Chain A
Amino acid sequence: MSLTRQDVEKVSLLARLQLPPAQLDAMTVHLARIVAYVEQLQELDTRDVPPLAHALDLENVLADDTLAPSLDREEALRNAPKRDVECYRVPAVLGGDF
């Protein structure tokens, strides 16, 4: 699989990264190298290896449905770039729910 400049453009848009043209070129080379590195895994014969859902050999880590205190609102809002007394404020969201 070879990575194209268009792929990187699309991925950077999805990641909300604005890359100037020069960086886009450089990133295409870097990313292609990373993908190629991971692609080495394809060389392994995994026919008899059951799929793995998680790297840890653990399952059913569950918590009881018991209330614990939440953060104080002041504390929760403290680092917001923009806020009012009750809420975070962000530039107008248009187009309704996602």
Chain B
Amino acid sequence: MSAAAFTTVIGLEVHVQLKTRTKLFCRCSTQFGAPPNTQTCEVCLGLPGSLPVMNRRAVELALRAAVALHCDIPTLTKWDRKNYYYPDLPKGYQISQYDLPLSRDGYLDLPDPQGAGTPRRVRILRAHLEEDAGKSMHDEVAGHADSRIDLNRAGTPLLEIVTQPDLRSPTEARFFLNELKLLLSYLDVSDCNMQEGSLRVDANVNLHLDTPRGRVATPIVEIKNMNSFRAVERALAYEAQRQGDEWRTTGRTLGEVPKQTRGWDDQAQVTRGQRHKEESSDYRYFPEPDLVPVTVRPEEVAAVRAALTALPATRRAQLVAHHGLDPYDADVLVNQGPALVDYFEQTVACGADARRASNWLQQDVLRTLNERGLTIQQLPVPAAGLAELLRSVAAGELETTRARQVFQRMVETGATVAAARQALGIVQVASEDLLELCRTLLAEHPHIVRDVRGGKTQALGALIGKARQRNPNVDPARVKAICSELIAAADTP
């Protein structure tokens, strides 16, 4: 198998927890991190005689995501029971959607990482609304091994988003996940936090190989247990390699072996075979008799579409078109989330130069947020304050190093630009005073004047340093300009 003769074919199944206060079929809290088994009731424990009632908010959030993913929304959707036994599934079935999902046939466009060219379109097969299972924790104490079951998560609303097998490399899979996560966070439908399990990814992968006998495909493998987007990328790369090796050894192709499930071992950086997944018919799906269907009228879909806020792709395009940012910079800002883009736009609306504002946000502001663990909403410097500061820099009243100090002061004390400047003793040096200072320095350092006359203009640097020692508020660029002029003027007879 030569390197060029195969294509990696990847499809993803992404589960995201929807941001509801309560569970999908009962009014227990979905809050993450509560003590085990303190957020359960008759319904989510599947006790006899209890009946589920669909959470309106969950349907709304799922619809919002489906519409943003350009999916078709059928007028009628219903729920089904997916039957299997597992200790974290109290009812013995999961309420999911089988043949009439909430949405299908959408797509997500991935921006070209180089910022140019046409986006890559990844088709979405379906996105449906289902309930989550509980959590099992392996526990080995005193020689006997048990699993401990926490059912707080059981019944939490999940949106399952299934892509077509349109992704062609592990890196592209990671790009897709980044873009999907960004979209969902702009939509405010999910926290998408992999550490807390509010976003989980399974991947289906195989290879299409060009052989002398024609094109063949290796058996499809489903990979589970990946706990970060990086892990997804690495697991897929490992699996593509492994399937290539296996194909060369066994020659086995798609259909000759049942679909296999493998788990990613992040420590060993390998995938390992898991037990056989039950065939789809083994789940014995049938309509959930305890829930009636949900209907969605076209006008409702139109209203959801109209209410969508600007999504990542739109905001990137706006930053480039309206503010003249490079696609790269626009991407960096948009990737930080909608609040940061809002902050940027407010800063520019308050009179800051767009590129300067973009640079400041990417450097000083983001660094401050990271160091202090703040969100942009918690930054003590309002957009108008940053704009005022950047206007001073643009007007030459404040050089960048000093502006940084002012910004830090504003962050630390919540002061205005004026108050921070005053506290730091930063006042603009009057022109006469600056001229006087330059004259004095030139008189005191004739050797520098000689050097400059001799063509060594870099000698002026020493003067700037001395000027700043005398008065930290002087603008180095102006000191340099004035000194040059004075020396030149003295030269002319």
Contacts and interface: CB of A to CB of B under 8 A. Distances in A.
Interface of A: 14, 16, 53-56, 58-68, 70-71, 73, 76-77, 82, 84, 86-93, 95-98
13 contacts: A53-B76, A53-B287, A54-B292, A61-B54, A63-B54, A65-B58, A68-B26, A68-B28, A70-B40, A73-B35, A76-B151, A93-B147, A98-B88
B477 interface: no
Contacts of B291: 54, 61
Interface stretch (B79-87, B118-126, B246-254, B437-445): B79-87
A93 B282 CA distance: 20
A67 B37 contact: no
A6 to B, nearest CB: 14
Contacts of B292: 54, 56, 58-61
B78 A53 contact: yes
Contact of B36 (A86, A91, A98): A86
A55 to B, nearest CB: 7
Contacts of B150: 86-87
Contact of B37 (A65, A68, A77, A92): A77
A73 B42 CA distance: 12
Nearest to A89: B146
Given A53-B293, A62-B56, A67-B21, 17 more contacts: A16-B85, A53-B78, A53-B287, A59-B292, A63-B56, A68-B28, A68-B41, A77-B37, A82-B146, A86-B37, A88-B149, A89-B149, A93-B86, A93-B138, A96-B263, A96-B274, A98-B89
B56 A70 contact: no
A65 B57 contact: yes
Nearest to A16: B85
A64 B136 contact: no
B462 interface: no
B225 interface: yes
B225 A67 contact: no
A98 B294 contact: no
Interface in B283-311: 284, 287, 289, 291-295
Contacts of A87: 36-37, 137, 148-150
B130 to A, nearest CB: 13
Interface in B227-241: none
Given A54-B287, A70-B28, A63 B76 contact: no
B147 A92 contact: yes
Contacts of B377: none
Contact of A96 (B39, B78, B151, B224): B224
Given A60-B294, A66-B22, A67-B22, A95 B274 contact: yes
A14 to B, nearest CB: 6
A29 to B, nearest CB: 21
A97 B41 contact: no
Contacts of B35: 73, 86
Contacts of B295: 59-60
Q: Which 3 A-B pairs have the closest CB atoms?
A: A65-B57, A68-B27, A87-B148
Contacts of A86: 35-37, 148, 150
Interface centre among A87, A89, A91, A95 (most CB of B within 10 A): A87
A54 B288 CA distance: 8
A76 B36 CA distance: 11
Given A14-B284, A54-B78, A98-B86, A73 B38 contact: yes
Contacts of B20: 65
Contact of A76 (B45, B148, B278, B293): B45
B133 interface: yes
B266 to A, nearest CB: 12
Contact of A88 (B56, B76, B148, B274): B148
Given A54-B292, A60-B294, A62-B54, A67 B29 contact: yes
Interface string B253-293: 00000000001000000000011001000101001010111
A60 B39 CA distance: 26
A81 B278 CA distance: 28
A80 B37 CA distance: 12
A86 B134 CA distance: 14
B36 A70 contact: no
A89 B76 CA distance: 40
A91 B27 contact: no
Nearest to B225: A96
A20 to B, nearest CB: 21
A84 B36 CA distance: 11
Interface centre among A16, A76, A89 (most CB of B within 10 A): A76
B167 to A, nearest CB: 22
A98 B200 CA distance: 12
A58 B42 CA distance: 24
B392 interface: no
Nearest to B152: A70
Contacts of B411: none
Given A62-B56, A65-B56, A92 B146 contact: yes
Nearest to B149: A88
B21 A70 contact: no
B100 interface: yes
A60 B292 CA distance: 7
Contacts of B58: 65
